[in-house]
Structure 1
Amino acid sequence: MTHPLIPEITALANPIAEKLNFEIANIVFQTNKNPSLLRIDIRNRGGDTSLDDCEQMSRLLEEALEMKDIIPEAYALEISSPGVADVLTTDREFISFQGFPVTVQTHTPHKKKTQFEGTLRSRDEDFVYLNCKGRIVKIPRELVEQVTLCSASE
C-alpha cells in the first residue's frame, strides 16, 4: 500500500527532477523504520546517474520538503539510482541488453499471445526482435506494453 503523502511528495519532487534533467523512477516512504525513510530513485536522462546527481537532488528536495513541511515527524531522505532497470525503455538500454533474456508483454494479442520470452535481438521504429528458441519473432512496437529483463534465477 502506498503511503498517503506520496502524491504530495511526488508533486514536489517532479519539478525539481525535471529542472535537473532527471526522472523519478520510484518513491517509497517507509514509516516502519525509526526514523522513517523517504527513498527516491532517480535516473539522469542524459546518461548514467552519478553520486553528484543524487547529492544535487537530495539538497534541493530537502530544502523544498522543509519549506513545505509535508512530513511532520523526523525522517531520513535517501536519493539513489535504481541501478539497472528491469523494464527497458530507452534506445540505449535496448542496445546495451542485446543478447539478454527478456519478456515482452503486449497489451493486445500478437500471434494469439500477449507474452513472449526470448533473447533480445534489437528494436527499430516498427518492431522489437526476439530470438525465441532459434526463431526470430518480430513484435510490432505499437502492441508492446513493456519489455522486462529476466532475472538470472529464471
Structure 2
Amino acid sequence: MTHPVIPDILALAQPIAEDLGLEVTDAVFQTNKRPPVLRIDIRNLQQDTSLNDCEAFSRSFEAQLEESSLIASAYVLEVSSPGISPYLATERDFIAFKGFEVVVTSDNPHQGQSQWQGSLQGRDGEAVYLSIRGRTVAIPLTVGLTVRLPH
C-alpha cells in the first residue's frame, strides 16, 4: 500500500528531476524503519544514471523537501537507480555517498562485531568511518570490509 504522502513527494520530485534531465521511476516511504526511510529511484533519460545524477537530485530534492515540511519528523533520504551497484568500492563512491546510510560487514570480527550500520563519514587508508548514534566509529580495513547501501 502506498503511503499517503507519496503523491505529494512525487509532485515535488518530478519537476526537480526534469530540470536535471532525470525521471523519477519510484518512491517508497518506509515508516516501519527507525528513522523512516524515503527512497526515490531515478533514471537519466539521456545516458546511464551516474552517482553524480543521484547526488545532484538528492541535494536539490532534499532542500525542497525540507522547505515543504511534507515530512515533519526525522527521516533518511535514499536516492538510487537500477544502474547503481549497492556496493561502494571506489574512492568516488565513498565521496558521493558521504552522509548516506550504509551497512558495513567484515570478514573478521572487530571488537566483537562483524556488522555496523550508520551514516558514512568517509574512508582513508586505515579505516571506514561511520556515525552511529552520534558517535564516530572507525572500522579498520584490515578486517576485510564490504560496504553497501541498505536494501
TM-score by length of 1: 0.53
- Aligned mates of 1:31, 1:83 — CA distance in 2: 25
Give every structure 1 segment of 4 or more consecutive aligned residues whose post-TM-superposition deviation is greater than 3 Å.
Answer: none
Q: Displacement of 1:35 after TM fit?
A: 0.4
Classify the secondary structure of the residue corresponding to 2:39: strand
- Aligned mates of 1:12, 1:29 — CA distance in 2: 14
- Aligned mates of 1:55, 1:22 — CA distance in 2: 12
Structure 2 residue aligned with 1:35: 35
* Pair 1:11-2:38 in alignment: no
**What do the CA deviations read for 1:109-142 (whole angstroms, capped 9, x no partner)?**
xxxxxxxxxxxxxxxxxxxxxxxxxxxxxxxxxx
- Aligned mates of 2:64, 2:42 — CA distance in 1: 17
Q: How many percent identity over aligned positions?
A: 61
Q: Displacement of 1:52 after TM fit?
A: 0.6
- Aligned mates of 2:33, 2:69 — CA distance in 1: 20
- Aligned mates of 1:81, 1:14 — CA distance in 2: 15
Q: Is the 8 A contact 1:41 1:80 kept in 2?
A: yes
- The one-letter amino acid paired with 2:12 is L
- The one-letter amino acid paired with 2:28 is V
Superposition pairs for residues 46-85 of structure 1, below 5 Å?
46-83=46-83
Classify the secondary structure of the residue corresponding to 1:52: helix
Q: Displacement of 1:44 after TM fit?
A: 0.3
Structure 2 residue aligned with 1:24: 24
- The one-letter amino acid paired with 2:5 is L
Q: Displacement of 1:73 after TM fit?
A: 1.1
Q: Displacement of 1:31 after TM fit?
A: 0.3
| Structure 1 runs not aligned, ≥5 long | 85-154
Classify the secondary structure of the residue corresponding to 2:77: strand
- Aligned mates of 1:83, 1:5 — CA distance in 2: 26
Structure 2 residue aligned with 1:144: none
- Aligned mates of 2:74, 2:61 — CA distance in 1: 15
Classify the secondary structure of the residue corresponding to 1:24: strand
Q: Is the 8 A contact 1:25 1:82 kept in 2?
A: no
Pairwise CA RMSD: 1.1
- Aligned mates of 1:51, 1:83 — CA distance in 2: 9
- The one-letter amino acid paired with 1:67 is E
The total of aligned residue pairs comes to: 84
